[in-house]
Structure 1
Amino acid sequence: MTAPTTPAPSTRASWGPLPRRRAVRPPRPVFALRAPLPARTRLLLVTVSVLLPVAVWLVLGATGAVPARYLPSLGSVWQAGADMAASGQLWTDTWATVRRIVYGFGLAVLVSVPLGVAMGSFAAANALLEPLSGLLRYLPAAAFTPLLLIWLGIDESPKIALIFIGTVFFNMLMTADVVRLVPRDFVDVACTLGARRREVLWKVVLPHSLPGMLDAVRVNFAAAWNLVVVAELVNSDTGLGKRILLAQRFTQTDKIFAILVVVAVAGVLTDVLLRLARNRIGRWL
């Protein structure tokens, strides 16, 4: 016979005392999750973000730690940009590049936004368009350059088409995702009150989605700038990308940096304008 086992002590009774924890202090606004920053703190961080790279550039140029062939000084870059602006070359190239982006990306927006709204609103449209767009967006747009030259010739058309191909599918899918975020309750209430399908789209879906659509345009506009430089490397007479290629042939790194600064400034200004438009349009969100 086995000896009778003693009952195990209660699990709760066997626990030790709970460790004492310090009182949780509210984090500072800089480290708080998704908390708004004070205006002065935000201004300070923005200033540091801009001035720190410039300061490093100045130090490297003044000390000669990096040869001027690879990293020209800030003064030489400024002078190169001033010379190109004085000759009119910089303005001609900038206008040629901006015009190509306006045509190519503008056409992409005109096509992608209605298709994205349809994909986000109707399951049938999503089933029809999502597989094809999901496949084509993984193809590098630059790989289409030889085909575009064969199909469209060597004028402006292949450059505009390259920007279109490289941005239309991404903008369409991002627009569809924004439309899907419209609360279902808004649509149900509108339908209950007697709104028709067209009225739901125009008065509920589009107003709620418009700020997100502008955010998608902001993101893909940067991709358009990247693509236009690639497009201008092939058989172009004008454009910032063509000017970079010519400067590279003669190892004029100061001109390359000057053009990159122009591209960065133009992109930031456009991004700020789109951000302001988004904030103004989406006040109700």
Structure 2
Amino acid sequence: MSVMNDIDMAAPRREAWRPGKVFWGVLSFATGIGLWWLATVLGFSELPDPFTVLGRIVELALSGQLWVDMGASLRRVLIGFILGSALAVPVGFLMGWYKVARAIIDPWIQFFRVIPPLAIIPLAIVTLGIDEKPKIFVIFLAAFLSSVVSTYQGVVSVDRTYINAARVLGAKDRTIFLRVVIPASTPFILVGFRIGLGSAWATVVAAELIAAQSGLGFRMQQAQLYYDLPTIFVSLIAIGILGLIMDRIVVRAEERLTHWQERI
């Protein structure tokens, strides 16, 4: 039996989902919307009230424009995020497991980490054109840099006690890597995915502001030209909802894959 199997048996499972969590989440959103409405009614803000924004949501949804923009942005985020995360995980494991690979790759990772992906957008447009390639590339880069660091940190943070115990039991390096290192690194990897999703959405909006013919960022730019605040709010809400749904999917995956981990 592997070390991680022993942990599975000993550690308590994550607390089951409870309806109360949904209640407090809904209450939080309702309170925020109520404060927003109150601020507009009392004249504390020049922002459009929630009912005006809701009317614009219905209008854009019925015309089909909202779904086209959401689909365009979501497609770019998914492609860039999946490609970036898929490459980040093996590179992170390579850096964490082999010191030589770490010495070679880590300086490049740290170099590109201090350069905001948004700063690369003009260069990507010049070199890759104005179609989908530059947008997907900068999203890929943002997701990759977030996930690779988390994966690497997960590998180097594995408790040496587990590795030494596995070696005492006769496990080879391959077995230790598959049965100890990968499971212990999974929480770090999933945290990197969540951070990468946020970076991906921030990057795609900026990319669409510069060069796009569709997308939520493009729609906000067009609305800005006409001081169309309700449409800007619609795009912001759509981005928030899509990002929240994707984040919840990752959280649910984390709950299933790391049920052995003791949490508060």
Alignment TM-score > 0.5, same fold: yes
| Match 1:268 to one of 207, 224, 244 | 244
- How big is the shift at 1:48? 5.0
Residues in 2 aligned to 1:95 and 1:277: alpha-carbon distance in whole angstroms: 23
Residues in 2 aligned to 1:74 and 1:235: alpha-carbon distance in whole angstroms: 30
Residues in 1 aligned to 2:260 and 2:91: alpha-carbon distance in whole angstroms: 25
Matched, 1:77 2:53: yes
Matched, 1:234 2:210: yes
Matched, 1:176 2:152: yes
- How big is the shift at 1:161? 0.6
| Match 1:65 to one of 44, 53, 75 | 44
- How big is the shift at 1:82? 0.8
Structure with the larger RCO, 1 or 2 (CA within 8 Å, 6+ apart): 2
Moved more, 145-154 or 46-55: 46-55
**Conserved 8 A contact 2:146-2:195:** no
TM superposition score normalised by structure 2: 0.87
**Conserved 8 A contact 1:133-1:169:** yes
Aligned residue number for residue 149 of structure 1: 125
Aligned pair in 2 of structure 1 residues 283, 41: CA closer, same or farther (>3 Å)?
A: closer
Aligned residue number for residue 251 of structure 1: 227
Q: Secondary structure at the residue paired with 1:233?
A: helix
**Conserved 8 A contact 2:36-2:49:** yes
Higher helix share: 2
Q: Secondary structure at the residue paired with 2:144?
A: helix
- How big is the shift at 1:235? 2.2
- How big is the shift at 1:190? 2.0
Aligned residue number for residue 90 of structure 2: 114
Q: Deviations over 1:126-181 (max 9, x none)?
A: 21111111111001111112211121111100000111222312221111111222
Aligned pair in 2 of structure 1 residues 123, 253: CA closer, same or farther (>3 Å)?
A: same
- How big is the shift at 1:272? 1.2
Matched, 1:124 2:100: yes
**Conserved 8 A contact 1:142-1:230:** yes
Matched, 1:188 2:164: yes
Aligned residue number for residue 9 of structure 2: none
**Conserved 8 A contact 2:149-2:192:** no
Dislocated runs of 4+, deviation >3 Å: 39-49
| Match 1:96 to one of 60, 63, 72 | 72
Q: Extract unaligned runs of 5+ from structure 1.
A: 1-35
Aligned residue number for residue 114 of structure 2: 138
The count of residues paired between Structure 1 and Structure 2 equals 245
Q: Deviations over 1:39-92 (max 9, x none)?
A: 79867754553233212111012223323xxx0010010011111110111111
Between the aligned residues of both structures, percent identity stands at 32
Residues in 1 aligned to 2:96 and 2:124: alpha-carbon distance in whole angstroms: 31
Letter in 1 for 2:212: S
Aligned residue number for residue 158 of structure 1: 134
Aligned residue number for residue 54 of structure 1: 33
Q: Extract unaligned runs of 5+ from structure 2.
A: 1-14
**Conserved 8 A contact 2:153-2:188:** no
Aligned residue number for residue 4 of structure 1: none
Superposed CA RMSD in Å reads 1.9
Residues in 1 aligned to 2:101 and 2:160: alpha-carbon distance in whole angstroms: 18
Residues in 2 aligned to 1:58 and 1:46: alpha-carbon distance in whole angstroms: 19
Letter in 1 for 2:59: D
Q: Deviations over 1:214-252 (max 9, x none)?
A: 121012211100000001112211111101111111111
Higher-Rg member (1/2): 1
Residues in 1 aligned to 2:222 and 2:107: alpha-carbon distance in whole angstroms: 41
Residues in 1 aligned to 2:138 and 2:153: alpha-carbon distance in whole angstroms: 24
**Conserved 8 A contact 1:228-1:241:** yes
